[in-house]
Amino acid sequence: MTAFATLPDRDKWAAMMAAYNAEMGTALTMKLRQWPLRTLVEMGFTPEDVAAVLREIKRRIRANMPGYTEVSLEFRNAIGTVAKFEEIMEALRKKALKKPARKEGEAAPVAPVATKSEPVDGTEMARKFRAFRERGLK
């Protein structure tokens, strides 16, 4: 059990608000923001989840994903809309499950790159290309 889990509810809400303020560089208060914070705590989310969701929203903004702008980072949109928060957290969890764990110091796998003369091996196009080339050379 983490230290966060043992805190009284009001302290948990304050920790969630502090995580938002730290990630965003703001100094917002909990006044009028307790309901979404309480709901997120009741759902089992942590300050680390708040920071992860905010980083994901920032990533989506940088990637110019439709529907994501600087306004998406405002408290009412990032945290206040609890359903949206939960959806982003679920997407992050699924993404984390898909990534194979790498050993420390191990490099990321490099995807094969197609050249002008040879498509990437393992693709349908590569198979067709090799078959065409073999027929043409005989």
The tens digit of pLDDT for each residue in 100-123 reads: 666 777 766 665 555 555 555 556
Query: In terms of residues, how long is the chain?
Result: 138
Residue 41: both structure tokens together: 């705590």
Q: How many domains does the chain have?
A: 1
Three-state secondary structure call for residue 71 = helix
User: Domain range spanning residue 76?
Assistant: 4-98
Quick: pLDDT tens for 15-48: 989 999 999 999 988 888 888 998 999 999 999 9
- Within a domain: 130: no
- Within a domain: 70: yes
- Within a domain: 26: yes
CB 26 within 8 A of CB 55: no
CA-to-CA distance for 80 and 65, rounded, in angstroms?
Answer: 21
* Predicted local confidence at residue 86, as pLDDT: 93
- Residue 6, pLDDT > 80, answer no
Strands, E, within the chain: which ranges?
none
- Within a domain: 14: yes
* Predicted local confidence at residue 58, as pLDDT: 95
